[in-house]
Each structure stands twice: as C-alpha cells, then as structure tokens.
Amino acid sequence: MFLLIGLYSCTKDPGSQNLQGKLIHVSACKQNKSSNQGSEIPDSLSCAQYNYAASSGTLTIKHINAGFNCCPDKIDCHIIVRNDSILISETESAAACNCNCLYDLDIQLTNLSAGHYTIHFTEPYAGDQPALTFGIDLATETEGEYCVTRKQYPWGFGI
C-alpha cells in the first residue's frame, strides 16, 4: 500500500490556502477482463462519481475509466481550485508500453467549502472527445455521478 501512495500523487495549486488534494488510490489496469468484473460502468464511458462530507469539507471523486498507458510508471494529477472551478489535470510520467488501458482513480480534496463548482478533468488520452466537465452544488447535492461517452481506444473494448 505504501508503494502505491509513493508512486501516485496529486499536487495542489499554491494559491489555494488550506485546500489539500491528493490521489488516494489507483486501480490496476482494467483491460484484463478479470480486473473489470463486477463493474457497473461500461468501458465506453468515462465517469466521475462524487461524495461530499460537509462536516469535514471533504470531497471524494472517483474517476472511473481514466485512460493511461499500460506502463505509466507514475500516474499524477494537479488540482487547482479557482473561484468556482475545480481543475483536475491527470498525467503519467512515462508511456513505456505500446498499449493503453483504463484505470479508476480516487481523488480527495479537503477543506473545501460547500457551494457551486464546475469540475473539469484534463485526460491525457481523451483527445477531441467530449470533456469530462460538469457542475455540482455541494450545498444541496452531496453525491452524484456524471459520465461522457468515449468511442476511441482505450475505451469501448467491452462493447
């Protein structure tokens, strides 16, 4: 477990005072059918499920079916909160293999005030496909899900 935490991280925008953002879990590559069993989300979708705990100001986001190289070395993200926008830029430090696959990423932000935000993911392999961008109002809706359809590799191989 410590190895995963050491290899996967998020950084925060220095301008956001007490906000902390971190990547708390990365799944194994899901191209292998056995690692994708039991998933309710088809591999043709890129989804974000969120849950907000108002008492602690903690927003947990699960990015389901994030596309990366099969051998990414280190998956990373940079989180910036500007006014009412939460920008999550996902990266990998290497593309060492000639294949891509899907992963699930669990991201946690703490010390986030309830309010309306637009969440925007920058995904390295999404290209010109629809962006995973959506609005949430944490004052009235503490959990939800938003998905976009993906039709290019590495998405959609279970169809």
Q: Is the distance from CB of 146 to CB of 118 less than 8 angstroms?
A: no
The pLDDT, as a whole number, for residue 9 is 47
Per-residue model confidence as pLDDT tens digits over 20-36: 899 999 999 987 554 44
In terms of Cβ atoms closer than 10 Å to its own Cβ (0-12, 13-18, 19+), residue 26 is buried
- Give the number of other Cβ atoms within 10 Å of residue 13's Cβ: 13
- pLDDT tens, position by position, for the chain (159 residues)? 333 433 444 544 444 458 889 999 999 998 755 444 556 899 999 999 999 999 999 999 999 999 999 999 999 999 999 889 999 999 999 999 999 999 999 999 999 999 999 999 999 999 999 999 999 999 999 999 999 999 999 998 654
For residue 128, the model assigns a pLDDT of 94
pLDDT of residue 158: 57
Is residue 6 packed enough to be buried (19+ CB in 10 Å), middle (13-18) or exposed (0-12)? exposed
